[in-house]
Amino acid sequence: MSRTPRPGKPDRSESDRAGQARHVPVMLPEVLAALALDRPGLAVDGTFGAGGYTRGLLDAQPEVQVVAIDRDPSAIRAGADLVAASEGRLRLVQGRFGDLDALLADLGEAQADWVVLDIGVSSMQLDEAQRGFSFRQDGPLDMRMGGDGPSAADLVNESDETTLADILYHFGEERRSRAVARAIVEARRRAPIATTAELADLVAGVVRPEPGSPIHPATRSFQGLRIAVNDELGELVRGLHAAERVLRPGGRLAVVTFHSLEDRIVKQFFSARSGRAAQASRHVPGVERLVPKSFKPVTKGPVLPSDSETMVNPRARSAKLRAAERTEAAAPDPLTAIETLASLPAAQGRGTRR
């Protein structure tokens, strides 16, 4: 690890993205070092965003071709200038990184040499009030990265109280999830909850701020809803498996996460695929099975940002980088254990909430 993480700080809060931290790619030198772009080849940036990692990939090795993916159409439009400046080395594709193997196949590419994933919401999305990700600017309660499917307003106004509590507790890690869900249901009986400010004020009336903390009481609830709206953890699971299928032997996968839910999935995936953790049999529950090692570790544990980076870019504070190298083994069946981590548990398995 490059430094000791600071305890007691919620993951990737909105305050982490203030000021000059906007659009700065987190741990770019560490990501490039983990990928080791030392030859011509094809790199995939599964989470294009503002293009920070893509620019780094293009600059690191002049003979590298890059395919960049983003589900947000506004990110694709904003990347047009970078595509033009790349002189044919960059192809920018709208889609979900969980489908990166299929998206590459559509481009006529069967394999890749490097894949990088920067998980979570982008600063651009937070900064646009009309996207509804942030409670610091009032806007419609939307939160959809791709603009399709049910919005946060749909979840808040249509989900039953138990489902809402599960979303806030398991995806947002909100300890007062039951009380928040109850308050939402009571409020929407009077009128639908339509804006970020309405929801933030409602949550703040239930969740007490921690003494001396700059973190808004609604931070965890907004995180939980955003993850649910965009199926972010499910997308991460699919992206890891897709990268495993598409990487050629010797290819490398680097993943930057920003909160414990994401990092737990990445850690368990790499542990299982490198043989450091047993994999249960799908056909005989409780029996371990031998699975070929499809990855070998590149990083020993998570790589953390330096103190100097977090001073310049507070958004990096909660980031963790993990990387591994693809072996010659065929890709095994998907890991059901991490698929479970990405979904809400059954009702009878819910933890204790207040």
Question: Do the annotations mark residue 101 as ligand-binding?
Answer: no
Question: Do the annotations mark residue 127 as ligand-binding?
Answer: no
The Cα–Cα gap between 308 and 329 comes to 39
Give the three-class secondary structure for 117.
Answer: strand
Question: Do the annotations mark residue 51 as ligand-binding?
Answer: yes
Phi, psi of 134 (to 5 degrees): -110, 140
Neighbour count for residue 331 (Cβ, 10 Å): 17
Residues comprising the chain, all counted: 354
The Cα–Cα gap between 291 and 336 comes to 14
The Cα–Cα gap between 109 and 66 comes to 11
Question: Do the annotations mark residue 53 as ligand-binding?
Answer: yes
The Cα–Cα gap between 219 and 135 comes to 8
Strands (DSSP E) contained in 236-306 are 247-257, 279-280, 288-289, 295-297
Residues in Cβ contact with 151 at an 8 Å cutoff, skipping those fewer than 6 apart: 132, 140, 141, 142, 143, 144, 229
Residues in Cβ contact with 295 at an 8 Å cutoff, skipping those fewer than 6 apart: 244, 253, 270, 273, 274, 324, 325, 326, 327
CA torsion 228-182-142-222 (nearest 10°) is: -60
Question: Do the annotations mark residue 169 as ligand-binding?
Answer: no
Question: Do the annotations mark residue 97 as ligand-binding?
Answer: yes
Question: Do the annotations mark residue 212 as ligand-binding?
Answer: no
CB 39 within 8 A of CB 111: no
Tell me the β-bridge partners of 118.
Answer: 256
The Cα–Cα gap between 288 and 272 comes to 12
Give the three-class secondary structure for 288.
Answer: strand
Side chain identity at residue 125, one-letter code = Q
Question: What DSSP string runs through 290-318?
Answer: -----EEESSSS-B---HHHHHH-GGGGG
Which positions make up the binding site for S-adenosyl-L-methionine? 51-53, 70, 97, 118, 125
Which positions make up the binding site? 51-53, 70, 97, 118, 125
